[in-house]
Amino acid sequence: METPKIHDSSKNLTLAKTFLNSTLRKLMAILNAECGSFFLFDPQKNELILDSLVNSKTIDVHGVKTRIGEGIAGKVFQIKTPVLVQDIDSDSRFRRNGFSHYHTKSFISIPLFYAGGLAGLINIADKRSGKPFSEKDLLFADTLCRYACQVVENILDSHKFQQEKDQFAK
């Protein structure tokens, strides 16, 4: 049986998505960040879909879509490696994406993996101090996201187990 994808709908998948949103908020709190976002990956359309944006301003961007390889989130997702940008204006890998809701030039972007594949992406921006994020911040964020993905995998395995159990009972 195929591993369920995070963007599918079911009770356990909703729980996984809620857990990843909670992980975003915890990361923001620990890293003293004022802005963060969580994108879900849709493998059928090969795009990231913004699930949540947490920011001190109220901005309605829910459902914004980014193709893989395009924009900052799409490029980070494509390279499948956590990224620390200390100054977007001097980083040759990326350029600003047009959003004006960022207060600082530094951010962290972490692709999310689980056994079923790529799940999504978490971005953390706008450190309250105004200073750039550090390598230590990146290491912590990456480690926490890896643990979060293990939890998501367990949630999804529980969903798969329940489906197989229900099918066997028929």
Place of tokens 């999504």: 120
Rounded to an integer, what distance in angstroms lies between the CA atom of residue 133 and that of residue 85? 8
Type and span of the H or E element at 78: helix 71-79
The residue type found at 72 is I
pLDDT of residue 54: 84
Tens-of-pLDDT digits for all 170 residues of the chain? 344 455 554 677 788 888 899 999 999 999 999 999 898 888 888 888 888 888 855 555 555 666 676 777 778 777 889 999 888 878 777 665 555 556 678 899 999 987 777 888 999 999 999 999 999 999 999 999 999 989 888 887 775 555 555 566 56
Tell which residue, 13, 7, 21, has the closest CA to residue 162.
13
9-12 long-range Cβ contacts below 8 angstroms, 24+ apart: 10/159, 11/159, 12/155, 12/156, 12/158, 12/159, 12/162
Beta bridge partners of 107: 85, 125
Residue 56: DSSP 8-state: S
Token pair in block for residue 39: 């994108």
Confidence (pTM): 0.79
